[in-house]
Amino acid sequence: MSSRSRDLVLSLAAVAALVALAAGGWSVVRARAEGSGAVQSPAPVVVPTPGPTASEAPPAEPAYETWLVGKAVGEVVVRTRPSDESAVKVRLDKRNYHDYPTVVLVDSARTVDGVTWHRVWLSVRPNGSRGWVKEGQLAFYTTSAKIEIDLSERLLRVYRRGELRGEYTVAVGKPALPTPTGFYFVNQKLEPADPGGVYGVLALGISAFQPDLADWPNGGPVAIHGTNQPELMGQAV
């Protein structure tokens, strides 16, 4: 299959249903191979707040996983450590190369000399890259939407608030260019100019990259998208 990214492909109807289920917030994406075991996953994080007083009961934790998403409010300077003196890892524009709002996924938070820094997962090579962002550069909100992909079963499952909302057969990368496993996040939602084309009606960009396609446009990003070839479902392409 020829495309500008190394993709997970769904039928047109399935990708429309997937987006409807995940609408209203961003999703985290976990791709795994059979028998691969657990992958590194960031714990749910909230911005540090004062603890409850003796007369207050702590708020109840939700019975499902949630994640904190950071949306750029301007240029975002990502550093190697939580310090203004540390090296700059990357600078992110407010909007990405598709003119879509730049988002990151929060891994943890730390207060240094009264200043809050957030360690965030990034949509840059290599997969799993993280860095530190000083307070004031991101706006935050939470999501409970999760997409799990079993590459061996060729199945994609969508969860919201811990409940399974949909299950779909997908096509995955061929053995020479396999779909990378790991923990990622949705970083953009795009409507292709041609809904009858190879990307179908919609594409979900995720923070993963195909390691062997670094010379491809934008570094070989991975996406979940529709297709005009439903016969590909369940195959490695």
CATH number, domain containing residue 85: 2.30.30.40
Nearest to 177 by CA among 129, 220, 217: 220
Residue 128 falls inside a structural domain: yes
Note the pLDDT tens digit of each residue in 107-151: 999 999 999 999 999 999 999 999 999 999 999 999 999 999 999
The verdict on 108 and 121 lying in the same domain is yes
The verdict on 156 and 206 lying in the same domain is yes
Greater pLDDT, 133 or 192: 133
The verdict on 76 and 123 lying in the same domain is yes
Residue 54 falls inside a structural domain: no
pLDDT attached to residue 44: 43
Give me the torsion for CA of 207, 16, 237, 149, rounded to 10°. Answer: 50
The verdict on 180 and 102 lying in the same domain is no
Of 58-67, 68-77, 101-110, 195-204, the poorest mean pLDDT is in 58-67
Which CATH number belongs to the domain containing residue 227 in this structure? 2.40.440
The verdict on 114 and 163 lying in the same domain is no
Q: Domain of 220? A: 6-40+145-232
CA pair distance 124, 106, nearest whole angstrom? 15
The verdict on 126 and 151 lying in the same domain is no
Residue pair 75/92 in contact by the 8 Å Cβ criterion: yes
Is the torsion defined by CA of 102, 108, 211, 173 positive or negative? negative
Most confident range, picked from 70-84, 145-159, 188-202: 70-84
The verdict on 149 and 228 lying in the same domain is yes
The verdict on 139 and 123 lying in the same domain is yes
pLDDT attached to residue 41: 42
The verdict on 13 and 126 lying in the same domain is no
E-only strand ranges, 33-122: 67-72, 76-79, 88-92, 103-112, 115-121
Q: Say how many domains are in the chain.
A: 2
- Hunting for tokens 């999501």 — which residue is that? 143
Nearest to 3 by CA among 160, 137, 173: 173
Last residue of a domain, one of 114, 143, 172: 143
β-bridge partners, 78 = 90, 133
- pLDDT surpassing 90 at residue 86: yes
Last residue of a domain, one of 119, 143, 167: 143
pLDDT attached to residue 212: 86
Residue 17 falls inside a structural domain: yes
β-bridge partners, 140 = 70
Last residue of a domain, one of 143, 160, 179: 143
Residue 178 falls inside a structural domain: yes
pLDDT attached to residue 12: 45
Residue pair 122/208 in contact by the 8 Å Cβ criterion: no
CA pair distance 231, 237, nearest whole angstrom? 11
**Gap between the terminal Cα atoms of the chain:** 6
Cα 172 to chain centroid distance, Å, stands at 17
